[in-house]
């Protein structure tokens, strides 16, 4: 009786090993993080949003450049506190391929307040309007500000929820995504 059980378990084990071998990714066709998700190690979810001037920006068109996607609102104190550091880092690194996209959470903000905010902080990077909460949904926005550091390959390297971010933290993350 015990030998029949051993044979039965050995057969189950052999079938399991055969199943593992047959279902393994033999040719490297796994996703390798190329499924869009708002998490480190995954492809940044693509969006197309308008600027204040009515131009459109599509995130995937920026492949080959390092991108910071910062979701914010004019009424958000941490957003206000980190904008000068974002602007300073952008000015220093834009020649090396850094793009900052300030995605205003327009669905929960006052669109009339945005131009004054841009002027007050001297923002020169694109400010995008998320009027239908497209980016907010794609990036599972739970807190403002939320910042996504995206490498030249379109993969998210780091996510920082909340703020304000210190200039030193920004520089460190930017150096990583510019590699």
Name residues of the chain where pLDDT drops below 50. Answer: 28-29
Q: Which domain holds residue 64?
A: 33-178
In a domain, 103, yes or no: yes
CA proximity to 137, closest of 34, 36, 32: 36
Tens-place pLDDT, residues 56-74: 999 999 999 999 999 999 9
In a domain, 14, yes or no: no
How many structural domains is the chain composed of?
A: 1
**CATH number, domain with residue 146:** 3.40.30.10
In a domain, 20, yes or no: no
Tens-place pLDDT, residues 157-175: 999 999 899 999 999 999 9
pTM of the model: 0.81
- Give me the residues paired with residue 102 across strands: 70, 127
In a domain, 16, yes or no: no
Q: How many CB atoms lie within 10 A of CB 118?
A: 18
């Amino acid at each position: 009786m015990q030998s029949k059980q051993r044979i039965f378990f050995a057969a189950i084990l052999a079938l399991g090993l055969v199943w593992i071998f047959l279902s393994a990714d033999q040719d490297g066709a796994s996703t390798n993080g190329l499924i869009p998700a708002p998490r480190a190690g995954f492809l940044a979810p693509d969006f197309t949003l308008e600027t204040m001037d009515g131009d459109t920006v599509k995130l995937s068109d920026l492949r080959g450049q390092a991108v910071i996607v910062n979701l914010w609102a004019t009424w958000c104190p941490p957003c206000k506190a980190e904008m000068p550091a974002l602007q300073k880092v952008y000015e220093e690194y834009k020649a090396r391929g850094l793009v900052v996209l300030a995605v205003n959470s327009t669905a929960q903000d006052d669109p009339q307040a945005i131009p004054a905010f841009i002027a007050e902080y001297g923002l020169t990077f694109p400010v995008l309007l998320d009027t239908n909460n497209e980016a907010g949904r794609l990036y599972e926005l739970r807190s403002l500000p939320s910042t996504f550091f995206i490498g030249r390959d379109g993969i998210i390297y780091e996510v920082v929820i909340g703020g304000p971010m210190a200039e030193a933290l920004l520089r460190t993350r930017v150096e990583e995504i510019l590699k």
